[in-house]
Structure 1
Amino acid sequence: MTNSHMLWAITVLKDAGYLIHASQPEIIQKTPWSMVCCIKTNQGPVYLKKVPPALSLESRIINILSNEFHANVPSIIAVNQRQHCFLMKNAGKPLHDYFKQNFQPDILIQAMQDYTRLQISTSDKIHRFLDTGVPDWRLKNLPKLYQDLIAQEMLLINDGLNNDELMQLRVLEPALFSICEELSHYKIKETFGHADFHDKNILIDLSTKKSTIIDLGEVVITHPFFSFLNCLHRAKLNFSLSESQYQQLQHACFKPWLALDTSDHLIEILTLIQQCWPIHSVLGEFRLMNSVDKSAFQELHRQGRLSNNLRHWINHMSSS
Structure 2
Amino acid sequence: MTYLDGLLWTQQNWLEQASSWIDCELHQKDIKRIDSIKQLRVRHWSTVLQIPTSIGNIYFKAVVSELAYEAALSQVLSHQYPQCMPQVLAINGEKGWLLMLDGGMMLQDTLKIEDDIKHWQNLLPCYAKLQQDCTKYLNEFLELGVPDRRLASLPVMFQQLLMDTKTLGLNQPGGLNLLEYQCLQNQANLLVKLCEELATFGIPETLHHGDLHDGNIFICDENYLFFDWGDSSITHPFFSLHSTYDCLKRRFKLAKNSSWFERLGACYLEQWAEYDTKERLQQAFEQAQQLSPIVAALRWLPVLSTMNAIHRNQYMEAVPNLLREFLSIISV
When normalised by structure 1's length, the TM-score is 0.90
Listed as ranges, the gaps of 5+ residues in structure 2 are 1-11
Report the identity percentage.
28
Give the Å deviation of 1:187: 2.5
Does the aligned pair in 1 maintain the 2:167–2:319 contact within 8 Å? no
Give the 3 Å change call, closer, same or farther, for CA 62–107 of structure 1 in structure 2: same
Amino acid at match of 1:37: L
> 1:275-298: CA deviations, max 9, x gaps?
2222112111223212x3335733
> 1:102-138: CA deviations, max 9, x gaps?
7534432222111100111122431121122111100
- CA RMSD, 1 decimal: 2.1
Indicate the residue corresponding to 2:92 in structure 1. 80
> Aligned partners of 2:16 and 2:115: how far apart in 1?
39
Match of 1:239 among 249, 252, 261: 252
Listed as ranges, the gaps of 5+ residues in structure 1 are none
Give the Å deviation of 1:101: 6.0
Give the Å deviation of 1:254: 2.2
Give the 3 Å change call, closer, same or farther, for CA 111–127 of structure 1 in structure 2: same
Match of 2:308 among 273, 294, 300: 294
Does the aligned pair in 2 maintain the 1:5–1:83 contact within 8 Å? no
Aligned to 1:39, what secondary structure does the other structure show?
A: strand
Number of corresponding residues: 314
Indicate the residue corresponding to 1:112 in structure 2. 124
Give the 3 Å change call, closer, same or farther, for CA 82–222 of structure 1 in structure 2: closer
Does the aligned pair in 1 maintain the 2:294–2:322 contact within 8 Å? yes
1:88-103 paired onto structure 2 within 5 Å: 88-100=100-112, 103=115
Give the 3 Å change call, closer, same or farther, for CA 69–13 of structure 1 in structure 2: closer
Does the aligned pair in 2 maintain the 1:32–1:296 contact within 8 Å? no
State whether structure 2 residue 147 is matched by structure 1 residue 135.
yes
Amino acid at match of 1:282: A
Aligned to 1:148, what secondary structure does the other structure show?
A: helix
Aligned to 2:265, what secondary structure does the other structure show?
A: helix
Aligned to 2:150, what secondary structure does the other structure show?
A: coil
Give the 3 Å change call, closer, same or farther, for CA 302–155 of structure 1 in structure 2: closer
Give the 3 Å change call, closer, same or farther, for CA 110–297 of structure 1 in structure 2: farther
Give the Å deviation of 1:12: 2.3
Indicate the residue corresponding to 2:75 in structure 1. 63
Amino acid at match of 2:33: I
Match of 1:50 among 38, 50, 62: 62
When normalised by structure 2's length, the TM-score is 0.87
Give the Å deviation of 1:15: 4.0
1:213-232 paired onto structure 2 within 5 Å: 213-232=226-245
Give the 3 Å change call, closer, same or farther, for CA 316–78 of structure 1 in structure 2: closer
